Structure 1
Amino acid sequence: MSIKIENLTHIYMPGSPFEKKALDDVNLTINDGEFVALIGHTGSGKSTLIQHINGLLKPTSGKIIVDDVDITGEKVKLSDIRKKIGLVFQYPEYQLFEETIEKDIAFGPKNLGLSDEEIGNRVKKAMNIVGLDYDIYKDKSPFDLSGGQKRRVAIAGVVAMEPGVLILDEPTAGLDPKGRDEILERVKELREEYNMTIILVSHSMEDVAKVATKVLVMDKGRCILNDIPSNVFKQVDILETVGLAVPQVTYLVRELRKNNFNISEDIFTVDKAKQEIINMLRGAKND
């Protein structure tokens, strides 16, 4: 499912002393099946942007076109749009409310008017893809789980509706390193399993480097960078100017290159850096 945003502007409380332009003439395209990371400092416009894509906010001006349909049009049923564009808010575990995990995940599909058999199949599939064994967890209370497991249940509840676009707002926030890696791995599997277009909002450059095929950088309501990760992470000066940074391992690579180590500059993850350094040392040993 593709998304095209044209000249999108949003002003909160226009005409009041508290008027604030949260989005300023944003233009961008997200292609079908892309894994897009949306990054930016607090207040840059990230949350406002994703709420427009889901139809939760109405633009002051501009258009959002989803699969050739302008969702800002007067006759568009936003309830239908929200079935196609799933939004997982930050700390989604606070939105869990059913007595069992199975019932919580089934809530969305039930509202789609599906048969009991189809609902059951979707719940099982969604639980499996987020790494929760159906037979073990279906009757458990979601409130008895760890933070990372609750996060998975919340994501499964949206995934079970099988949207064409999945938006995740800081899905790893507050989790320990193991929990962060597990959630990111599950999100990657979601894209492969459902062929979803995924938009990941994050402050973590390390997370972005692991999963994204495209990176959008927001600052003061504008999209200032829009490119593949390797090209965005080369813009160190621009990123630091807007209060961001490249992945920590990238700074290590830059220092190694300054000291005449023959190592690729296109390294943004620890795993890739590890392999590159091992290959470099082996080459030096063979010489």
Structure 2
Amino acid sequence: MNLRQLKYFVKIVEQRSMSRASVELHVAQSALSLQISSLETRMGQKLLVRSSTGVSPTVAGQTLYKHAVAILRQVERAAHDVERSAADVSGSASLGLPVVLQDLLAIDLLVAARTRLPQVRLHLAEGMSYLLKEMVLQGRLDMTVTYQFEPSPGIVEHPLFNEMIYLVSPVKSGIKPREGGLSIAEVAQYPLFLSSRQTGMRRLVQAGLAAHGVTVQALAEVDSLRTLLDAVETGNAHTILPASALQKHLKSQANSSVVINSLNITRNAVLCTSEHLPLGATATAVYELLENLIQQALEDGRWIGIRPVPDAPST
């Protein structure tokens, strides 16, 4: 197995067509077929299936595809690191950000990267935490910010900050901000719109309720942050959101269109990288820049309801 075969294989899977891959690679179809045949012989597995709708990977092919993408990315990164000047970080780096963290981190990071790392092309990917972590494992992202809930095999987590969780209520509901907030058990009495069950936020809420022997049936499951806030502002439901999603409302509570009460649960944000794919020099520079930005924001007290991750209790 060699890099050329992996490159050809990846392109065929992505194009889902031998002929389209041939055009993209500027390689004759017969040469592609020969290389794939050799690869299948080496692996002892059928990797591709041809049908009337195109070419698709077998189960073994899907496994190889994930590894091949990561290998090719790592080779490209290694070549770039060797070529780059030690005094001038350049190249591309990619970072995943869950939608809920876009307002908190995206603009500050983009501005800082433009100023401090002008030769770096930073790609920000938006999505659900579990999908972004999968992309890190596949080598499609260098790193992602997500939330700590349970260990993920192959993922290394570095703590970033701890944030409070809030019940967000319509003004016309009559609920008032309560000093000391509410208990998670109290939210069961309110009509709730919540994020879907696979999200970290929903799992955290369910775990908090279960710890108090309480269950709740969401009136609707909505993954759009904007829609959740719109539903509250228009008086249709309550919702539960983290501090990172509510900074504008928390900083202007006197004029806010919603009522916010803290709950007795928090969660940790973490920066995730692959255990098996070390960061290149460019991605490491972005990693350190993000860490510095967050540390400075915490020291300046710029964020409400967000603090350093508490030290683990000694044993």
Q: TM-score range by the shorter chain?
A: under 0.3
Q: TM-score, normalised by structure 1?
A: 0.25
Q: TM-score, normalised by structure 2?
A: 0.24
Q: Which has the larger radius of gyration?
A: 2
